[in-house]
Amino acid sequence: MGLRPGPAAVYGFPWPAAGNAAIGLDALSAFFLVPIFLFGGLGSIYGLGYWPQARHPGSARRLQTFWGLAVAGMGLLLVARHALAFMLGWEIMALSAFFLITAEDREAESRRAGFIYLIATHLGTLTLFGMFALWRWATGSFALEPIATGAAGVGVMNALFFLALIGFGLKAGVMPLHFWLPGAHANAPSHVSAMLSGVMLKMGIYGLVRFLFLLPDPPAAWGGLVLVLGASSGLLGVVFAIGQHDIKRLLAYHSIENVGIILMGLGLAMLGRSAHRADWLVLGLAGCLLHVWNHSLFKSLLFLGAGSVVHGARERRIDLMGGLAGSMPWTAAMFLVGAVAICGLPPLNGFVSEFLVYLGLFGTAVIPGAKVSAAVAAAPVLAMIGALALACFVKVYGMVFLGTPRRPDSAPARESPVGMLAPMLPLALCCVLIGGVPALLGPVLDAAVAAPALAQFDALPPVLALAPLGAVGLASRMAIAVIACIAAFQYLRARRIRRAPTWDCGYASPGPRMQYSASSFARTIESMFAWALRPRERAPRIEGPFPRNASLESHVDDAVLDRLIVPAARGTRRLFGWFRRFQQGLTQQYILYVLVALALLLCTLIPFGDLISRLFGR
């Protein structure tokens, strides 16, 4: 209903605390509501199989309650047209997420991730409070409506922009503000990780799209900054993903990468807004929004697949898995769909949104007669991100599902129950559908793009007029058909297949431990990006003709959390050690502090001017 273009429906109702509150539904809100409702339902079905009440009597009920609350909170913040209602929804979502993340609160790691998340989300909320206070001061109301040109000074506008960027960026997981994300996604139950990554991060994106388009006349520097943040977040996100050994942590870093791609689209749209180029705006924003949908589809699919793997193989470390395609064929097939989609490969949906962003970026270069915008340099960066993501997912898929099991002692993995496999199927089908028939989405994207942007432009060109999505869809469908034909032909011809052991270049008895591992696969790329990753490695010294058993370890720390925030927090704690002598836990002492503070406050009432003039005057 709301996906159709047209004026937004707004309903007001009295709210004694804050004047008139309003909720409304326009195409942008409706666009973001779709993944919430799709995944809210599918994820809770999955949760019944993954986290059954019988096996987790303590936490299963809590999980279901807060799942519902989180979905409701997100729904509220999307339809809110009043700052306080928005913050209410935001906090319901953010706090329920804390209880969802710490479902396994007996594990120290899970508690730590939960607390880091709590700190980050409060930091974000604080920033948003600052932003709304400033908003109220500048516009005189809490209503979320476009600010008129010239209503506020440049400084206020810049302050609003940066507060929004930090507050929403923390939730979206943009690169320097992503520090809470990998831990939280890795330690939460898998369907919760899927919800956090697939849906909740997008609330940060929604906030950015909604608020940045309410600010009038953005300078080009804002768009440029968002574009640069997106590009660096995309590149570093995928590079850090390659360095991970834990399947869920790896997927979490890929969320950072995809948020980067989304922000590249948004940055391009903002540049288009500054430069009054409707085509940049439409392509950038359409790419941004479509990637929001696509990422929520394939990332949820991948996290559910990873959950199925963790469930079946009872293991999260990639280097200890292998050969799961044999024992878990359905999970393997679904995960492959997700992996191909997230790499942005045709014929699936990831390609379509990246295509829109590429087209917009290239479009900034080919205007005849005009100077080339620096934004175009993001196109090769996006190409590199694509190639790295491909390497990363070949690593994950190859090491987890292909080859032979790397731990011969462990019991064979079991395929997950239907209750866990069934929710993945609609997600995979949506990936194929958007990839195969992207032109279907043209009107939906037009409406969603027009909702925030029509205030500046009288008319926007439709997405389908700028991007040949019909041709892309045709090419994708043809590719699917040709592959199916060749596969069918091979299948018919290859009914008699001789099985033989893998040929290991003449080696007599190849074993599962001789397989290439995920770490060795990633090593070449890791060494190329060692300047950013700084892997910690403990290599053994091998001495003598008969060396003893030795092992090699390598680990990639998070750049911001482990190398910046934790040392800084330690330093602060050491620095403020002296303050402890004022805080001994004695009630009498605290009363004394109160008394001293009161006396000092009373001193301010003394008319010092009079006093001095009477003492020294005349």
Partner 1 sequence: MVDTVIHVALLFLLPPFLLGVINKTKAKLAGRVGAPLLQAYFDIAKLARKGFVLSGTATWVFRAGPAVALSAVAAAGLLIPFGRFDAPIAFAGDLILFAYLFGMARFFTMTAALDTGSSFEGMGASREAAFSCLSEPALFFAFLVLAKLSGSLSLGKMLMVSPESFASGAAAPLILISLGLFVILLAETCRIPVDDPNTHLELTMIHEAMILDHGGPWLGTILYASSLKLFVLVAVLANVIVPFRTGKAWLDWPIFVGETLALAIVIGFLESAMARLKMRRVPYLLVSAILFCGSAFILLVR
Would you call 25 helix, strand, or coil by DSSP? Answer: strand
Q: Which is nearer to partner 1, 418 or 485 (CB)?
A: 485
Q: Which is nearer to partner 1, 216 or 461 (CB)?
A: 461
Nearest to 541 by CA among 533, 530, 532, 552: 552
Helix (H) or strand (E) holding 32: helix 27-50
* Min dist. Cβ of residue 295 to partner 1 (A): 17
Nearest to 241 by CA among 396, 400, 398, 403: 396
* Min dist. Cβ of residue 460 to partner 1 (A): 18
* Min dist. Cβ of residue 359 to partner 1 (A): 5
Q: Which is nearer to partner 1, 500 or 542 (CB)?
A: 500
Nearest to 519 by CA among 246, 302, 313: 246
146 vs 138: CA distance, rounded Å:
12
* Min dist. Cβ of residue 247 to partner 1 (A): 16
Bridge partners of 12?
22
* Min dist. Cβ of residue 318 to partner 1 (A): 12
Q: Which is nearer to partner 1, 483 or 564 (CB)?
A: 483
- CA angle, 426 then 422 then 398, to 5°: 85
Q: What number of CA atoms fall less than 13 Å from residue 464's CA on the CB side? A: 13
Radius of gyration, CA atoms only, the chain: 27
Q: Which is nearer to partner 1, 551 or 587 (CB)?
A: 551
Bridge partners of 143?
82
Q: What is the DSSP string of 539-556?
A: PPP--SSSPPP---EEE-
Q: Which is nearer to partner 1, 209 or 348 (CB)?
A: 348
Query: For residues 25 and 7, is the Cβ–Cβ distance under 8 A?
Result: no
Q: Which is nearer to partner 1, 501 or 585 (CB)?
A: 501
Q: What is the DSSP string of 414-430?
A: -PPPHHHHTTHHHHHHH
39 vs 424: CA distance, rounded Å:
10
* Min dist. Cβ of residue 398 to partner 1 (A): 3
Cα separation values, 273 from 214, 277, 279, 285, Å: 12, 6, 10, 10
Cα separation values, 115 from 446, 537, 609, Å: 41, 28, 51
* Min dist. Cβ of residue 506 to partner 1 (A): 9
Long-range Cβ contacts of 440-445 (<8 Å, 24+ apart): 441/290, 441/469, 442/469, 443/4, 443/5, 444/3, 444/27, 444/31, 445/286, 445/289, 445/290
* Min dist. Cβ of residue 508 to partner 1 (A): 14
* Min dist. Cβ of residue 101 to partner 1 (A): 32
* Min dist. Cβ of residue 193 to partner 1 (A): 24
Angle between helices 278-313 and 349-363 (to 10 degrees): 150
Q: What number of CA atoms fall less than 13 Å from residue 406's CA on the CB side? A: 18
Query: For residues 309 and 328, is the Cβ–Cβ distance under 8 A?
Result: yes
Cα separation values, 25 from 72, 351, 449, 458, 526, Å: 15, 29, 14, 21, 46
Q: Which is nearer to partner 1, 188 or 239 (CB)?
A: 239
Q: Which is nearer to partner 1, 220 or 376 (CB)?
A: 376
* Min dist. Cβ of residue 262 to partner 1 (A): 18
Q: Which is nearer to partner 1, 52 or 511 (CB)?
A: 511
* Min dist. Cβ of residue 437 to partner 1 (A): 16
* Min dist. Cβ of residue 407 to partner 1 (A): 14
In this structure, the number of other CB atoms found within 10 A of the CB of residue 469 comes to: 22
482 vs 478: CA distance, rounded Å:
6
Q: Which is nearer to partner 1, 136 or 407 (CB)?
A: 407
Q: Which is nearer to partner 1, 211 or 351 (CB)?
A: 351
* Min dist. Cβ of residue 371 to partner 1 (A): 8
20 vs 156: CA distance, rounded Å:
25
**Max intra-chain CA distance, the chain:** 118
Q: Which is nearer to partner 1, 287 or 307 (CB)?
A: 287
Q: Which is nearer to partner 1, 372 or 595 (CB)?
A: 372
